[in-house]
Amino acid sequence: MIKDIFSPEIANEVIDRINHIMPNQRPQWGKMSADQMLAHCNVTYGFVFEPEKFTKPGMLKKFVLKTFVKKIVVGEKPYKINSPTAPDFLIKNTRDFEKEKSLLIENIKKVQHLGSQHFEGTENFSFGKMSASEWNIMFYKHLDHHLRQFGV
């Protein structure tokens, strides 16, 4: 069962886990450094809160995303270890660890503050309209996957 990122308790639990990541911490799998992982997790929120910074998918790409990828992203089944990363989510350069960490915490607090009602029926950049439950799964599952990747 996926935890509810909209609840203050779960949002605080996730933030506490983030606060346990150290800048030089190595992942248990994958190639991302801690700063890259935090930046990678922030992309999800960038699509929500700063969509103008990204290129919207064309009709064909959006069809593929909605038809095949959405099921993986908003389904309750956990992501597989070392599963492929979408190009928009690839972070290849070094990032400021503290800046990315602070931004991710701010993003989680913003989502929690807005609440599930805000996200019910809200258009997703890649997947179209989604339910609050789908938004919750997408937010929590992605964070949990990468926090487990770094052992927290």
Tell me what pLDDT residue 87 has: 87
Tell me what pLDDT residue 146 has: 98
Return the ∠ at Cα 50 (arms to 48 and 22), rounded to 5°: 80
Residues of the chain with pLDDT under 70: none
Tell me what pLDDT residue 49 has: 95
The C-alpha atoms of residue 35 and residue 140 are separated, in whole angstroms, by: 19
The C-alpha atoms of residue 45 and residue 63 are separated, in whole angstroms, by: 21
The C-alpha atoms of residue 53 and residue 2 are separated, in whole angstroms, by: 29
